[in-house]
């Protein structure tokens, strides 16, 4: 009969048969799919797997540290941590168009990943966290943003010259099965049940030009919002507002407005809170978060993040708005 431990045993046997004694590389993004793929492949072949974690400076607060703790320290996976923040920021300087930003972030990722892979010339396999819905999606026609998502979210855009065979052990699994597998492999439920995070990260949550200064403010504001959503429990359902929402985040608006603090006047940035409820991300409702929760998040952000003096809540549905602001 089908059980998760049986499934893991079979998947491990299959991966071992497939790769033999070859070396495998995997691009770890911090997302659920690549994380679960890494944990499963590591279970099968241990140190034959090397993960490359590219920190583009556009991840959530402390995410780089968390990825290294989870994989390198806790699971004992070989992980090469590349801090490419300066490189990404350099290429994003002066760029304001959302699709142009996406292209740059995707291209730089491939560049950095390729450069790291070149240091592992014995690798024969490229592992990816492709899941069943990705397989179906890439079989159909894709346009616009949906296409941009896949074209750089997975490491799929790597040049032919790398001559690596693809190892995709999650190809037959749906998202909820991937999550169950992740927990069974020892990944923290908080990691495995996280809201989705776009490949271009904070790059599309800072409107217009991306600057390091904006990133730092946004990361801290976003961490406060998420912390309060996790802490606030809805009495009716007994669930946290993090669980009740499908995706929630802060958007940085490069706009200054006037405020007062003590005897003084401030002239600082505005952020918007976005929280949506959706089953397919094609349409979405804005979440009716309790006013006291919104008030608490606003107070904390304004008091704790110097440089932000105003917080607004986005009450736009999709359509006509999108979930992300870019």
What mask, x for binding ligand XMP by CB under 6 A, covers residues 95 to 124? Answer: -------x----------------------
Q: Applying CB under 6 A, which part among 82-90, 175-183, 198-206, 259-267 lies near ligand XMP?
A: 198-206
Residue 145 touching ligand XMP (CB under 6 A): yes
CB closer to ligand XMP, 134 vs 268: 134
CA 40 → CA 7, 33, 48, 212, distances in Å?
11, 11, 13, 35
Q: Applying CB under 6 A, which part among 21-29, 66-74, 80-88, 197-205 lies near ligand XMP?
A: 197-205
Site for ligand XMP, residues 270 to 309, rule: CB under 6 A:
281
CB closer to ligand XMP, 121 vs 319: 319
Residue 149 touching ligand XMP (CB under 6 A): yes
Residue 199 touching ligand XMP (CB under 6 A): yes
To the question of whether residue 31 is assigned a binding role by annotation, the answer is: yes
Residue 196 touching ligand XMP (CB under 6 A): yes
Cβ at position 180, least distance to ligand XMP in Å: 21
Site for ligand XMP, residues 161 to 180, rule: CB under 6 A:
none
Cβ at position 157, least distance to ligand XMP in Å: 13
The residues, any chain, with a CB within 8 Å of residue 17's CB and separated by 6 or more, are none
Provide the annotated binding site for ATP: 29-35
Provide the annotated binding site: 29-35
Which residues of the chain form contacts with ligand XMP (CB under 6 A)? 102, 145, 148-149, 153, 196, 198-200, 247, 281, 318, 322-324
């Amino acid at each position: 009969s089908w059980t998760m431990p049986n499934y893991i045993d079979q998947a491990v046997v299959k991966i071992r048969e497939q790769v033999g004694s070859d070396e495998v590389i995997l691009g770890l993004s911090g997302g659920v799919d690549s994380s679960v793929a890494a944990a499963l492949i590591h279970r099968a072949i241990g140190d034959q797997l090397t993960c490359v974690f590219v920190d583009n400076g556009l991840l959530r607060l402390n995410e780089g540290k968390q990825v290294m703790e989870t994989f390198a320290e806790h699971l004992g996976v070989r992980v090469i941590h590349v801090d490419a923040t300066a490189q990404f920021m350099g290429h994003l300087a002066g760029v304001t168009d959302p699709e142009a930003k996406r292209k740059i972030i995707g291209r730089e990722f491939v560049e950095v990943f390729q450069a790291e892979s070149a240091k592992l010339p014995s690798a024969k396999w490229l592992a990816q966290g492709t899941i069943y819905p990705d397989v179906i999606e890439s079989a159909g026609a894709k346009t616009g943003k949906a296409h941009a998502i896949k074209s750089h979210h997975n490491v799929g855009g790597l040049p032919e010259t790398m001559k690596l065979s693809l190892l995709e052990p999650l190809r037959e699994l749906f998202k909820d099965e991937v999550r169950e597998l992740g927990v069974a492999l020892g990944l923290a439920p908080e990691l495995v049940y996280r809201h989705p995070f776009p490949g271009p990260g904070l790059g599309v949550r800072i409107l217009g030009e991306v600057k390091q200064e904006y990133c730092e403010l946004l990361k801290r504001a976003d961490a406060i919002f998420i912390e309060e959503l996790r802490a606030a429990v809805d009495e009716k359902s007994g669930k946290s507002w993090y669980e009740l929402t499908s995706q929630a985040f802060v958007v940085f608006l490069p706009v200054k407005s006037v405020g007062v603090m003590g005897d003084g006047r401030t002239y600082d940035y505005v952020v918007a809170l976005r929280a949506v409820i959706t089953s397919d991300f094609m349409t979405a409702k804005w979440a009716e978060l309790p006013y006291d929760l919104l008030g608490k998040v606003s107070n904390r952000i304004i008091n704790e993040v110097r440089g932000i003096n105003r917080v607004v809540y986005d009450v736009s549905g999709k359509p006509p708005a999108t979930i992300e602001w870019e």
